[in-house]
């Protein structure tokens, strides 16, 4: 669905005096393939290049070097940009920045209306997308009256109304409380598992990345780790050296191993940790 070949990107800006042009290389020779129906989490500390990479996936940014293909379409081909952005919908960190309508259902209808979709089909899409993100009862509400998690789910519904095959989410839970985060992540998982939508989640929350099929870690514009969450998070010391954390349960298992307790490196969830501790204790705990 998405393929990058030796992707590089340079931001060009002037210095503080407004004179000399300054170049900052943000992405370096990125080679990445994202398969149809997959759920990929991209991790990295602030300034690592992960959000810049995400913006290449629907042609918001274009490569300085190399290529990006979305469903085989070259993002630098101006004639393909419309189709690329229909195929790869993007949800940003702050849902307020995406809201354009005063009523929730009008917000969801906005994109298909601008695409020239027939009114009956727009009505069907609005109803279906609001039901998908569990926001039907808020159809007549003002977005300003919703919680952060509810707003983000409306933003997701508005993107879904374009019938994208790929959903790119750039730190969608960064501004949310734990309840809002849980609502949004539950929605993302459902869209991937039940609807077959290819998901690319940009995040700095390790527990969210652990839910993906694949975790890619970026540092200083380069891919430094790539594999299943278990494969990636067993590299605890490497991840910490990059200024990142690991899931809390993985951290616990890591500290227990440092104390000489023989617990698996693959622990990612509370249930897995509980099972490992039961084995260590001989099954005597309840």
Neighbours of 78 (CB within 10 A): 10
Rounded to 10 degrees, the C-alpha dihedral 219/225/230/233 comes to -40
Coil, helix or strand for 145? Answer: helix
Cα first-last separation, the chain: 46
Cβ–Cβ contacts within 10 Å for residue 184, how many?
26
CATH (one of 3.40.50.10540, 3.40.50.300, 3.40.50.720, 3.60.15.10) for 2-244: 3.40.50.300
Please report the pLDDT score of residue 285 as a whole number: 45
CB 166 within 8 A of CB 57: yes
Q: Where are the domains of the chain?
A: 2-244, 247-286
Question: What secondary structure, in 3-state letters, does 72-96 show?
Answer: CEECCCHHHHHHHHHHEEEECCCHH
pLDDT at 221: 93
- Predicted pLDDT of residue 249: 87
Neighbours of 11 (CB within 10 A): 13
What's the rounded Cα separation, in Å, for the pair 166 and 163? 9
pLDDT of residue 283: 60
Alpha helices in the chain (DSSP H): 50-56, 81-87, 104-114, 119-132, 148-160, 178-193, 206-209, 229-233, 236-241, 248-258, 270-280
3-state secondary structure of 102: coil
In degrees and rounded to multiples of 5, residue 230 shows phi and psi of -65, -45
* pLDDT value of position 254: 87
Task: Tell me the mean pLDDT per 10 residues along the chain, length 286.
Answer: 95 70 88 96 91 93 95 94 91 88 94 90 94 93 92 92 92 86 89 93 89 94 94 90 87 88 85 86 60
Helix, coil or strand: residue 67: strand
Total residue count of the chain as it appears in this document? 286
Whose CA is closest to 178, among 213, 217, 141, 148? 148
The structure tokens 């210095």 sit at 15
């Amino acid at each position: 669905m998405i393929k990058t070949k030796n992707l590089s990107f340079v931001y060009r800006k002037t210095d503080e005096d407004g004179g000399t042009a300054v170049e900052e290389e943000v992405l370096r020779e990125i080679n990445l393939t994202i398969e149809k129906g997959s759920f990929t989490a991209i991790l990295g500390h602030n300034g690592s290049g992960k959000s810049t990479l995400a913006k290449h996936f629907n042609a918001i940014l274009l490569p300085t070097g190399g290529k990006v293909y979305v469903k085989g379409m070259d993002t630098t081909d101006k004639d393909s940009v419309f189709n690329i952005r229909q195929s790869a919908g993007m949800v940003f960190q702050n849902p307020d920045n995406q809201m354009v309508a005063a009523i929730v259902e009008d917000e969801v209808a906005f994109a298909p209306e601008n695409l020239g979709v027939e009114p009956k089909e727009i009505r069907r899409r609005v109803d279906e997308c609001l039901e998908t993100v569990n926001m039907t009862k808020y159809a007549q509400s003002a977005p300003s009256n919703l919680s952060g998690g509810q707003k983000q789910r409306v933003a997701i519904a508005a993107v879904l109304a374009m019938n994208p095959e790929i959903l790119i989410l750039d730190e969608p839970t960064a501004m949310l409380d734990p309840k809002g985060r849980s609502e949004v992540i539950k929605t993302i998982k459902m869209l991937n598992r039940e609807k077959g939508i290819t998901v690319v989640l940009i995040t700095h929350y390790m527990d969210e990345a652990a839910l993906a099929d694949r975790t890619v870690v970026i540092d200083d514009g380069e891919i430094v780790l790539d594999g299943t969450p278990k494969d990636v998070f067993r590299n605890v010391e490497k991840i910490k050296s990059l200024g990142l954390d690991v899931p809390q349960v993985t951290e616990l298992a890591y500290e227990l191993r440092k104390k000489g307790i023989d617990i698996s490196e693959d622990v990612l969830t509370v249930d897995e940790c509980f099972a490992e501790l039961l084995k260590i204790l001989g099954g005597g705990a309840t």
